[in-house]
Amino acid sequence: MASESDLRNHHPGVRSAYEHVVRRNPDEPEFQQAVLEVLDSLSPALERHPEYADQRVLERLCEPERQIIFRVPWRDDDGNVHINRGFRVEFNSALGPYKGGLRFHPSVNLGVIKFLGFEQIFKNALTGMNIGGAKGGSDFDPKGRSPGEIERFCQSFMTELHRHLGEHTDVPAGDIGVGTREIGYMFGQYRRLANRWEAGVLTGKGLEWGGSRVRTEATGYGTVLFTQRMLERNGKDLDGRRVVVSGAGNVALYSIQRAQQLGATVVACSDSSGYVVDDKGLDLELLKQVKEVERKRIDVYAERRGQSAQFVEGGNVWDVPCDVALPSATQNELDERSARTLVENGVIAVAEGANMPTTPEAVAVLREAGVLFGPGKAANAGGVATSVLEMRQNARRTSWSFDHAESELAETMAGIHDRCEEAAERYGAPGNYVLGANVAGFERVGDAMLAQGLI
C-alpha cells in the first residue's frame, strides 16, 4: 500500500501532489500505487523545470478531466434482469483524443479504472503519437455467458457510453474480457445510435470491417521487441535464453510466439489454476488450441503434451528458473518474494506485459540486483500504438499488409525504448527504464498542458 513517507525526501511539489491524491481518493489503493510509482521519479524534472510545480501540473495530471459512471441493465437468456456498473475515466487529452481500452471483469471498480487510465496517459505519450489517456469497463463477467447475453450486455453498455465517444473525442479499444467479438457488438450499437459509419471510434475491430493486421499480436509482440532492444543495448540477446511468461491470454500467447521467433525457449506459462512447465519449450499451437479455441484450463495442455510438461496446481510460476521473465497476467502478480526468487535463479531481464504486474517492493529488488526492468507503460505500449495505426488506416480508408503493420510496430517500440533510455541518461540515471519512462512521458504531457493554459 502506498505511503506518504515513501516521498519524504522528494521535491515539495511531488509530496503535495501525492497528499492531494490520497486525500481525495482514500479508498483506491491501485490508483494511489500507480500515482506513487510515477511521482517517485519526477523530483529531478521538477527541480530542473520549476514551472511544473508553479502551475501545479502534477495535481492537474492526477485529477481526471472527466469520470463517467453509469448503470448497465441487461437480461440473461432466462429473462432475468441484471444490473452492472459501467465506467469511463477520460484522464487527459492534452496530446489528443482520449485513448484506452475497456475491461470487463468482476474486479473492475472506479479505483482500478483510474489506475489504468493514469498509466495510459504516460504509455500513450511514450509512443510519440498524438493521443490522450483514458480507460473504461464494467464489473460484468463474460465468463460462462452465452453469445446472446454478451451481445445484449454490450449493446446496453454502449447505449449509454456512445454519447461520450467520437474519433476526435474518445476512442476505446479492448482489454481483459473485451475482444473482437465484444468490440463488434459495441461498434454495431454505436453505428445504430449515431447513424454514421465512424470506423475510427473504436479500435480492435475485425479485419473485414476496419481492423488492423497485427493488432491481435501487438501487445505481446511489442513487449518482446522492447525486451530484445533492452537486452541488445546491454550487450545481450534473446536468442537461446530461457523465458517464463505469466498468464495464458492474448498478451502471454503472443509474447511466447514472438520470443520463440527470436530464438528463445519459453518454458512456462500460467493461468488462475496454476502453471505448466515444459522443458522442451511450450508447444504454442497446442497452447492456443487449449486456451483460445477450447477455453480450458492449462492443466489440459500438460495432459496432452506428454512427459515433457508438468502442471503445478496453484503454484507460483516465478519459481521456475529463467533468464527473462515477462509478467503478462494482472496487477501486482510479481511480489517481493517472487522477485528474490527470480534473482537467485539468475534472471537478467524482466519486462511487464500486463499493467503494473510488479509490486513496488519487487521492482526495488530487481533494480538493486542489476536486473534490466522494462515498466509496463513502455514495454506493453505496442497494443495502443497499433490501435493508433488502425485509426490512421481508418482515416485513409485503407488497409496495410501484416508485414507493413509489423514494421510500424517494431519502429514504434524502438522509439519508445530510446525515449526512455535518453531520458534516463539525461537525468543521470542510465539504465533506469522506470525513471526514463516516467520522466519522458510526463515531460511530453506536461509541456502540452502548459502550452494550452489552465484548463
Q: Which of 99, 114, 123, 135 is catalytic?
A: 135
Which residues share a beta bridge with 278?
309
> Among residues 408, 369, 404, which one has the least CA distance to residue 385?
408
Residue 63 CA to residue 118 CA, distance in Å, equals 9
- Spatial contact of 63 and 35, defined as CB atoms under 8 Å apart: no
Among this protein's residues, is 135 annotated catalytic? yes
- Spatial contact of 231 and 237, defined as CB atoms under 8 Å apart: yes
- Spatial contact of 346 and 370, defined as CB atoms under 8 Å apart: no
Residue 266 CA to residue 341 CA, distance in Å, equals 18
- Please give the helix or strand (H or E) that residue 46 lies within, else none: helix 43-48
**C-alpha cell at position 391:** 485509426
Residue 117 CA to residue 123 CA, distance in Å, equals 10
Sign of CA dihedral 152, 89, 134, 113: negative
**C-alpha cell at position 137:** 469497463
- Spatial contact of 181 and 155, defined as CB atoms under 8 Å apart: no
Residue 54 CA to residue 34 CA, distance in Å, equals 23
Q: What does the radius of gyration of the chain's CA atoms come to, in whole angstroms?
A: 21
Residue 36 CA to residue 417 CA, distance in Å, equals 22
The total of other beta-carbon atoms located within 10 Å of residue 398's CB is: 8
Residue 371 CA to residue 360 CA, distance in Å, equals 15
**C-alpha cell at position 53:** 510545480
Residue 88 CA to residue 96 CA, distance in Å, equals 17
Angle, alpha carbons 363-423-437 (nearest 5°) = 40
CA distances from 286 to 269, 292, 298, 301, 322 (A): 13, 10, 11, 7, 22
> Among residues 106, 165, 157, 97, which one has the least CA distance to residue 131?
97
Residue 237 CA to residue 230 CA, distance in Å, equals 9
The residue with cell 485503407 is 398
The residues annotated as belonging to the active site are: 135
